[in-house]
Chains A and B, each alone.
Chain A
C-alpha cells in the first residue's frame, strides 16, 4: 500500500521542527504547569526538566523506529510486521489519538467559552472548531507545514515576554526547596512531566513517510522538542514563581491567569491586553495540534480500515472526535480525562513503543522485508 498522497506533497526534514514544537507547546503550556505544580509543588521546574529528558528519549525512539520503515506509517508497518496480531497495537494507537483529540477538543472548547465566548453553546464551539480544522487538514501536509512555519514565529514573539517579564514579580520562597521531599515524587514526577510533553510523540510515527530527507529528521525534531521544553519549563517556573503552588493548584489555567497579571514595560505598552494576544495565539496553537492529530488519525483510518479516499477518512475522524467531545458531560470530567489520557500516553510511550522497538529488533529479517516493501 503506497503512502497516501491525496494531493499531499512531501515536506523537508527541517519542517519537523515547527511541527514538533507547535504540537508540544500547544498542549503543554496550558496543562503542563498545573499538572506539574499539583504533583511536584516547589520542585516542579526540576521535574519538568527531568521529564524533558525522558521526552528526548521517547522522541529518539519514535524517530528511529519511523526511520526504520521510511516509506510506511506506523499503522502500516506494525500490521505488516506482526500480521493480524498487529491490528491490536495499531488500533490502540488510533483509538488513543481519537481519545486524545476528543478530550482536547472538549477542553479547548471549554476554555474558549470561558475566556471569549461565554454565551456560545459548547457544541457550536466544538463543531465550529472541528470544521475549521477539517478545512485545514484537507489541504494536505505541505499546506499544514507552511501554516505551522508562519505561526511558530508569532508564537515565539508572544511567549518570550511571558517568560522574561515574570522574574521581577517572583517570590523566591515559592521555589524552595527545589527538590522533591519524598521518593514517590522523585520517581513519578518525571513521568507526570512527560505527560505534558507528549503532544508530539506520535508525529514522527505518522509523518515520516511524507518527509523527503527523512534520514535527517531526528535533529530538527530534537530542536523542536528542546524549544518546546524550554517554553513549558519556563511557563511552569514563572507561574510557580509568581503565584505559588497553592494558587497554581487551584487555578484552572494558571498560564493564562499569569498572562492576565503580567504588566508590560513602557516600550511594550501597546500590548496592554497581553492576555488577549496570548489567548489568540494559544487558540491557533491548539488548532494546529488538532490538525496534526487529525491528519495522522485520518491516515490511520485509511490504512487500518481501508478507506480509499482521504477526505472521507478525514470526515469520519472529524465526526468521531466531535461526537466524542460532546459526550463529555462536564468540565470536571474533562479535566480528569486530560490527566487520564496523558497517563495513557505515558504508558504507551514507555510501554508499547519500546515493546515495538524490541520486536523490530527481534524480528529483524521480517522487519527488513517490511521496510523494503512500499
Chain B
C-alpha cells in the first residue's frame, strides 16, 4: 500500500509534451487565444553526415481559444496526443490587447499550478502567437532564446528579466505596479527592448527603448549601460557599471507626496575619440557633469511616463508608506503618485579608464 501511493501519478516520459513557451492573445471576439510551443526531440535526432533540420522544424506550436487563459490551455490539451507538461516553461508571452484587458487571469492561473516554473520570464508582445511561432536564428526554439538571453550575459539596460513570481508580487503589493519587458520581431530576429507598465493588472503605459533605460536608472538597476558623451570637440563613451539609489527624502505635505531621489553613478571610459590622447582632469569633470545630466534626464523622463500612467514601478509608494505608516492609504496612492513632486539628483563619477591613462 505504501509503495502504491505514487502509482496514480505515474506518467511515462514518452506520454508528455514539454511546453517551453506559452503565449496569450485576445481575439477580436473577446476570447483568449493560447499558443504553446513544444520542442520536437525527434527532429533533432539526426544521423552523422545529414544536415540538421531547419529551425522552423525544431519545434511545433499549437493554438486554441477559450473563454479564459486556462480554458484555452485545456482546449490545447484536447488537441495534443500527449499530456502537456508545464514544469519546464521558459517564457510566457502576453499579447498587448490581452494585457490591456487584464493580465491577472494569466498570472493567477499559471501560479496556482504548483508544477509551473516560477522563474519563467514574462514578456509583452504585440502578438504573442507570432512570437511563439517565429523560428529564431541561433537557438533551438524561440522560448530558449529568452532563457539564454537573460542568463548568459549581463542584461542590457533597456530590458530586464521579470519572472512570473515577480510579476505576481508586483501586482499583489498595494500601491505598486509591474513592468514587463517588450519583445518585437523584425527581420526574423527578436529584439528585447522597452517595457510595458502594468497598473491595477492592466497595461497602462509604455516605455519604449530609449526611455526604458531611464526606468532601470531610476530603480538603480543598470549594470552595463553605454553613454555617448560629447563636450567641445571631444567625445567619449562611458560604460555605467553601477548605479546606487537612495531616497534622501520622502514626506507628505498637505496630502501631496514629496520624493527626493539620489543616484550615484559609477562608470568607466569605454572609448575615446582620439586614440592615445589623455583626458585632462577638467575634461573628466565636464564629462562627469554631462553624464550626470543625461542620467537625470532619462530618469526624470521615465518617472514622468510612469506618473502619467499612474504606475509606480519604482517602489516609491512603499517609502511613502514607511514615512507615515499610520495614515497610509494604498488605494489612493495611484492618484497621488500622478501628482507627486519627484526630484532626482545625480552624482556621476568616471572611476576607471581601462588600459589607457
Contact = CB atoms under 8 A, between A and B. Distances in A.
Q: Which of B8, B114, B169 has the most CB of A within 10 A?
A: B114
B223 interface: no
A124 B4 CA distance: 9
Contact of A246 (B1, B174, B326): B174
A120 B165 contact: no
A361 interface: no
A260 B114 CA distance: 9
B2 interface: yes
Contacts of B163: 261
B1 A131 contact: yes
Given A131-B2, A171-B315, A250-B172, A124 B8 contact: yes
A247 B165 CA distance: 10
Nearest to A120: B8
Nearest to B8: A120
Contacts of A121: 8
Contacts of A135: 2
A181 B114 CA distance: 34
B8 A119 contact: yes
A120 B2 contact: no
A247 B169 contact: yes
Contact of A173 (B172, B315, B326): B315
Interface residues of B, number: 26
Contact of B169 (A116, A131, A244, A260): A244
Contacts of B321: 173
A257 interface: yes
B255 interface: no
Contact of A115 (B1, B114, B173, B318): B114
B156 to A, nearest CB: 20
Contact of B9 (A119, A177, A261, A263): A119
Contacts of A114: 114
Contacts of B325: 177, 181
A243 interface: yes
B74 to A, nearest CB: 15
Contacts of B318: 171, 173, 176
B5 A247 contact: no
A67 B318 CA distance: 51
B2 A177 contact: no
A348 B118 CA distance: 40
Contacts, number: 70
Main SS of chain A's interface residues?
helix
A177 B321 CA distance: 9
A367 interface: no
Given A247-B168, A261-B165, A125 B5 contact: yes
Contacts of B190: none
Interface in A239-294: 243-244, 246-247, 250, 257, 260-261, 263
Interface string A303-315: 0000000000000
Interface in B288-330: 315, 318-319, 321-322, 325-326
A261 B163 CA distance: 9
A331 interface: no
Nearest to B174: A246
A222 B6 CA distance: 38
B322 A176 contact: yes
A165 interface: no
Given A244-B169, A244-B173, A173 B322 contact: yes
A219 B118 CA distance: 41
Contact of A257 (B8, B118, B319): B118
Interface string A218-245: 0000000000000000000000000110
Contacts of A117: 5-6, 8-9
A243 B174 CA distance: 13
A173 B319 contact: yes
B119 interface: yes
Given A117-B6, A171-B315, A261 B326 contact: no
Nearest to A260: B118
B180 to A, nearest CB: 17
Given A173-B318, A261-B118, A261-B163, A118 B2 contact: no
B5 A120 contact: yes
24 contacts: A115-B114, A116-B6, A118-B114, A119-B9, A120-B5, A121-B8, A124-B4, A124-B5, A127-B1, A128-B1, A128-B5, A131-B2, A171-B315, A173-B321, A176-B322, A181-B326, A243-B165, A243-B169, A246-B172, A246-B174, A247-B169, A250-B172, A260-B117, A260-B119
Given A114-B114, A119-B8, A131-B2, 19 more contacts: A116-B9, A120-B8, A121-B8, A127-B1, A128-B2, A131-B1, A171-B315, A173-B318, A173-B322, A177-B325, A181-B325, A244-B169, A246-B169, A246-B173, A247-B168, A247-B172, A247-B173, A260-B119, A261-B165
**Across the A-B interface, the 5 shortest Cβ-Cβ residue pairs:** A128-B5, A173-B318, A120-B8, A246-B172, A260-B118
Interface of B: 1-2, 4-9, 114, 117-119, 163, 165, 168-169, 172-174, 315, 318-319, 321-322, 325-326
